[in-house]
């Protein structure tokens, strides 16, 4: 999969030490607690994690869609050389949907039920480009619908969302997201709410479109199988932090972090000859109101050590091609190697 990433591609997005907190009546929830990563042009990055690990919040802060009481409290998000956190409201609006667009989890509720699909497609175009005439916008929308594989596009334009099936609506959402030819598409669990067969179709479509247009994608999911299908790189998130990041090969064939390994073991694999038992990760996800002092994954980790109880592990390079992982186990091994 990674062979179609251009090696010398420029950095498109650079997230540095991003911190997002929700100020709730019961206390501060650090939904995203200092994450950093780079995304090159044309690259497809998967962000994997359990629900509540902060993966969607992180994506929303890129596009300025955080709802109160959520607030970015630190770090920077640099897109194409500009820090989007410094954008004012109007600039942010022009940025959204134009340079970066987003598709969401539940296609059933993401389209306004009282307007036709065509209407909603066209307004995504016209709000960024006032000169565009109605006819032109209509043609472009029809073209996009055709691109995402909707038959009978002209007729479909005049229909309301409830006349579309779930998969069709997600296709329409993708068409809407792509209508301004953005450089980056953020897909927030785009296949989770769909039937398995439809999921495969949508994934295939996204892969196809990515190849055609060459845009970068941030693909947020809790499903590792989906990641293997489409992504070049993977970030694994836990409790608002990135615990491991690397290429798809690294993550799947040489996972470094116990949490990643746990995720892989809990995932069914069809390609295995022997049927391995699926092993779930014990324990419950961390309570973000009261995160543990040391490693957030410590309480659920089978390799948990004394040092994990008190200190948060730093993110360390553990391999080629920017493969990083945050675990004291690596330090332990190094210590042991040193002593030998």
- Of 87, 138, 160, 252, the one binding another protein by CB under 8 A: 160
- Of 112, 175, 195, 208, the one binding another protein by CB under 8 A: 112
289 touches another protein by CB under 8 A = yes
Strand ranges (E), 80-204: 82-83, 100-103, 184-188
Closest distance to another protein from the beta carbon of 131 (Å): 16
- Of 41, 73, 98, 281, the one binding another protein by CB under 8 A: 98
Contact letters for another protein, residues 311-340 (x by CB under 8 A): ---xxxxxxx-------xxxxxxxx-x---
Closest distance to another protein from the beta carbon of 28 (Å): 14
Contact letters for another protein, residues 168-207 (x by CB under 8 A): -----x--xx------------------------------
292 touches another protein by CB under 8 A = yes
User: Which residue stretch of 136-144, 147-155, 217-225, 308-316 sits at the interface with another protein (rule: CB under 8 A)?
Assistant: 308-316
C-beta pairs of 51-54 under 8 Å, 24+ apart in sequence: 51/222, 51/285, 52/285, 52/288, 53/237, 53/238, 53/239, 53/240, 53/285, 54/20, 54/237, 54/239, 54/240, 54/241
Taking phi over 0 as left and psi of -120 to 50 as alpha, with beta for the rest, 188 belongs to: beta
Tell me whether residue 82 or residue 320 sits nearer to another protein (CB atom). Answer: 320
Whole-number Cα distances in Å, 11 to 39, 82, 117: 6, 12, 35
User: Which residue stretch of 131-139, 236-244, 268-276, 303-311 sits at the interface with another protein (rule: CB under 8 A)?
Assistant: 303-311
- Of 143, 254, 266, 276, the one binding another protein by CB under 8 A: 254
- Of 106, 201, 213, 223, the one binding another protein by CB under 8 A: 106
Whole-number Cα distances in Å, 243 to 38, 210, 305: 15, 27, 17
Taking phi over 0 as left and psi of -120 to 50 as alpha, with beta for the rest, 181 belongs to: left
Closest distance to another protein from the beta carbon of 318 (Å): 5
Specify which residues 220 forms β-bridges with. Answer: 47, 188
**Pairing mode, if any, of strands 44-48 and 216-221?**
parallel
110 touches another protein by CB under 8 A = yes
Interaxial angle between packed helices 117-126 and 166-178, expressed in degrees from 0 to 180 and rounded to the nearest 10: 20
Query: How many residues sit in the footprint of another protein (CB under 8 A)?
Result: 67
Q: Are 194 and 167 in contact (CB under 8 A)?
A: yes
- Of 17, 115, 181, 211, the one binding another protein by CB under 8 A: 115
Q: Provide DSSP, 79-103.
A: ETTEEGGG--HHHHHHHBTTTEEEE
Q: State in Å, rounded, how far the first CA of the chain is from the last one.
A: 39
Please identify which residue in the block is written with the tokens 């990055």: 45
Q: Are 243 and 260 in contact (CB under 8 A)?
A: yes
**Which of positions 9-38 make contact with another protein (CB under 8 A)?**
25
56 touches another protein by CB under 8 A = no
The one-character DSSP state at 244 is E
Contact letters for another protein, residues 209-238 (x by CB under 8 A): ------------------------------
**Which of positions 259-278 make contact with another protein (CB under 8 A)?**
261
Please tell me whether the peptide bond between 51 and the residue prior to it is cis, using omega within 30 degrees of 0: no
117 touches another protein by CB under 8 A = no
Tell me whether residue 25 or residue 268 sits nearer to another protein (CB atom). Answer: 25
Q: Are 255 and 67 in contact (CB under 8 A)?
A: no
Residue ranges in contact with another protein by CB under 8 A: 25, 63, 65, 89, 93-98, 101-102, 104, 106, 109-115, 120, 123-124, 127-128, 160, 162, 173, 176-177, 254, 256, 261, 286-287, 289-290, 292-294, 298-299, 301, 303-309, 314-320, 328-335, 337
């Amino acid at each position: 999969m990674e062979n179609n990433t251009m090696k010398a591609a420029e950095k498109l997005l650079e997230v540095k030490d991003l911190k997002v907190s929700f100020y709730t009546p019961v206390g501060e929830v650090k939904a995203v607690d200092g994450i950093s990563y780079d995304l090159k042009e044309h690259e497809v990055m998967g962000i994997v994690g359990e629900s509540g690990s902060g993966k969607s919040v992180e994506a929303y802060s890129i596009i300025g869609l955080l709802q109160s009481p959520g607030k970015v409290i630190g770090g920077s998000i640099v897109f194409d050389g500009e820090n989007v956190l410094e954008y004012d409201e109007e600039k942010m609006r022009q940025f959204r949907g134009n340079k970066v667009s987003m598709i969401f989890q539940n296609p059933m509720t993401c389209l306004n039920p009282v307007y036709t699909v065509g209407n909603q497609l066209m307004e995504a175009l016209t709000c960024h480009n006032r000169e565009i005439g109605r006819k032109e916008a209509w043609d472009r929308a029809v073209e996009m619908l055709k691109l995402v594989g909707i038959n009978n596009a002209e007729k479909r334009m005049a229909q309301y969302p409830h006349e579309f099936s779930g998969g069709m609506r997600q296709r329409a959402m993708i068409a809407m997201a792509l209508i301004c030819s953005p450089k980056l598409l953020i897909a927030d669990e785009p296949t989770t709410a769909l039937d398995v067969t439809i999921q495969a179709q949508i994934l295939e479509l996204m892969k196809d479109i990515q190849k055609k247009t060459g845009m970068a994608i941030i693909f947020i999911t809790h499903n590792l199988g989906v990641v293997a299908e489409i992504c070049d790189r993977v970030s694994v998130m836990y409790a608002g932090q990135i615990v491991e990041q690397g290429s798809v090969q690294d993550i799947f064939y040489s996972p470094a972090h116990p949490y990643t390994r746990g995720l892989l073991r809990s995932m069914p694999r069809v390609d295995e000859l022997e049927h391995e038992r699926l092993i779930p990760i014990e324990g419950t996800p961390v309570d973000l109101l009261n995160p543990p002092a040391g490693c957030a994954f410590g309480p659920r980790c089978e390799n948990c050590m004394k040092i994990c109880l008190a200190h948060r592990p730093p993110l360390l390079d553990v391999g080629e091609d920017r493969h990083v992982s945050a675990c004291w186990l690596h330090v332990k091994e190094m210590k042991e190697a040193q002593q030998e």
